[in-house]
Amino acid sequence: MGIDIAIDLGTSRTRIFLPNKGVVVDEPSVITVDLMTDAIIAVGQKAYEMLGRTSERMSAMYPLSGGVITDFSLVENMIKIMLSDISIGKVGMPKVVACIPSEITEVEKRAVVNAISSAGIRRVCLVEEPVAAAMGAGIDITSPHGSMVVDIGGGTTDIAVLSLGGISVSRSIKKAGNAIDDEIIKYVKKKYNLLIGKRTAENAKIAIGCVGNIGENKTFRLKGRNCVTGMPMQADISSYEISDILVDIITEIVYQVQDVLEETPPELMGDIYSDGIILTGGTAQLKGMAEIINAVTKIKVRVADNPSLCVVKGCGEALKYIKAFEKGELSPISEQY
C-alpha cells in the first residue's frame, strides 16, 4: 500500500506534504534546461539561483503561469525529479491530492492531472485552492458555517466563501505576487532607466514591500543594467514607491473581495462578519494587506499562521477524505481521476 501524497503545484513554488512528516519539499517552481540536448540541468532552488544567469545554451524558467501549466513537458519532469527526492519509488503507487485554482478550464485541470500521473501516480484527487487554504488555516469547512478565505499566491488570488465542504461564491484573478514583481520591473525601467530581473524585483518586494504608506519609509538597492548605455547601474527604491506601484493590483483584489461579499447569502455573511476574513498565501504577508481589506470591507481581517504553507497543509488534510469522496459522502475533494 503506497503512502498518499499532497502536492501544491504553485506558480512560484511547489510543495509536497507527506502524512506524519509534514512538508518535505518546498522549492521554487523553476527548471533549467540545456537547449541543445533538452537535458534537465537543475530543478527547484538550484534552478532558481540560475535565473537570469544562464549562458545562451541554457534556459532557466517557470513552467507555470497564472496558476496553470504553460510547458507540460517541463512540469512533468519537475514533478518526477521532486518526487524522486522523497524516494517515491520506495512507497509504491500512491494517491495524490493536488490543488487547482477555483476557476480553470477542464483542459487546464487535465494538464495538471496528466503531469502528476506521469510520475507513476495511480490516482489524482483535486481540491480547489481556497478550500485547501481554509483547511490549512485550521477552518472546519464541513460545518454549516460560513468562512471567507482570500488566498494570495504567486500566480493567482483566489477568493471564496465556504460552507458544508464546498464553495458558495468564489473568484480567481491573475493578480498576485508575480504580477507585483512585473510591475516593479516596469516601474524601475521607466523611472530609473534600469533593467532588473525577476529575482531582484522579488527580493525588493519581500524586503520592503508594503500596501499603503505605513510605517518607516525603507529603501532597497537595485542592481542591473542601464537601458540607455548598457552599463552596470544601481538605484535605490523606497517602500513608499512600491506601495504606489501596487495600487492597481491591490485595488483589483479588494474590488473582487467586495464583489464576492455582495453575492454571499445573508446567513453566511453573518458568519463572516462574526469570524472575519482569513488571508493565506505568501503575498498575504505584505505589510498593510490585512489593514487595507479591513478598511474597505469593515470586516476584521487576519493573516493565517504560516500563510505560505496553508494550501499544501490543507491538501494534506484532504488526504483523510479520499475514501469519503469515493463513497459519495461530504468531502472537500472536488474531482478524482
Q: What pLDDT was estimated at residue 59?
A: 93
Q: What is the mean pLDDT of residues 293-300?
A: 96
State the average pLDDT for the chain: 91
Return all residues near 267 (Cβ < 8 A) that are at least 6 apart: 146
Give the residue numbers spanning the domain of 40.
Answer: 5-132+312-336
Q: What is the mean pLDDT of residues 223-231?
A: 94
| Antiparallel, parallel or unpaired: β 123-128 and 95-100 | parallel
- List, in sequence order, every residue forming a beta bridge with 64; answer none if it has no partner: 69
DSSP string, 263-314: HS-HHHHHHHHHH-EEEESGGGGSBTHHHHHHHHH-S-EEEPSSGGGHHHHH
Q: What pLDDT was estimated at residue 142?
A: 86
- Least trusted range by pLDDT, from 85-99, 150-164, 245-259: 85-99
Instruction: For residue 5, give the C-alpha cell.
Output: 501524497
Tell me: do 21 and 163 sit in the same domain: no
From residue 43, alpha-carbon distances to 202, 214, 269, 298 in Å are 19, 38, 44, 43
CA distance 324 to 315: 15
CA distance 136 to 279: 11
Tell me: do 116 and 160 sit in the same domain: no
**pLDDT tens-digit series, residues 280-293:** 999 999 999 999 99
Q: What pLDDT was estimated at residue 137?
A: 95
Tell me: do 117 and 245 sit in the same domain: no
Tell me: do 259 and 177 sit in the same domain: yes
User: Does 216 score more than 90 pLDDT?
Assistant: no
Tell me: do 124 and 264 sit in the same domain: no
Q: What pLDDT was estimated at residue 215?
A: 77
Report which of 152, 136, 79 is spatially closest to residue 113, judged by C-alpha positions. Answer: 79
User: Does 92 score more than 70 pLDDT?
Assistant: no
**pLDDT tens-digit series, residues 173-194:** 999 999 999 999 999 999 999 9
How many domains does the chain divide into?
2
User: Does 93 score more than 70 pLDDT?
Assistant: no
Tell me: do 144 and 271 sit in the same domain: yes
Q: What pLDDT was estimated at residue 289?
A: 94
Tell me: do 258 and 297 sit in the same domain: yes
Tell me: do 52 and 161 sit in the same domain: no
Q: What is the CATH number of the domain that holds 320?
A: 3.30.420.40
Report which of 105, 26, 29 is spatially closest to residue 63, judged by C-alpha positions. Answer: 29
| Amino acid (one-letter) located at 83 | L
From residue 135, alpha-carbon distances to 57, 131, 139, 162, 332 in Å are 43, 6, 5, 10, 9
Q: What is the pTM of this model?
A: 0.91
Tell me: do 127 and 171 sit in the same domain: no
Q: What pLDDT was estimated at residue 90?
A: 47
Q: What pLDDT was estimated at residue 118?
A: 87
**pLDDT tens-digit series, residues 101-141:** 888 889 999 999 999 998 888 889 999 999 999 999 999 88
Tell me: do 151 and 295 sit in the same domain: yes
Tell me: do 21 and 52 sit in the same domain: yes
**pLDDT tens-digit series, residues 7-26:** 999 999 999 999 889 999 99
Tell me: do 147 and 292 sit in the same domain: yes
CA distance 335 to 109: 10
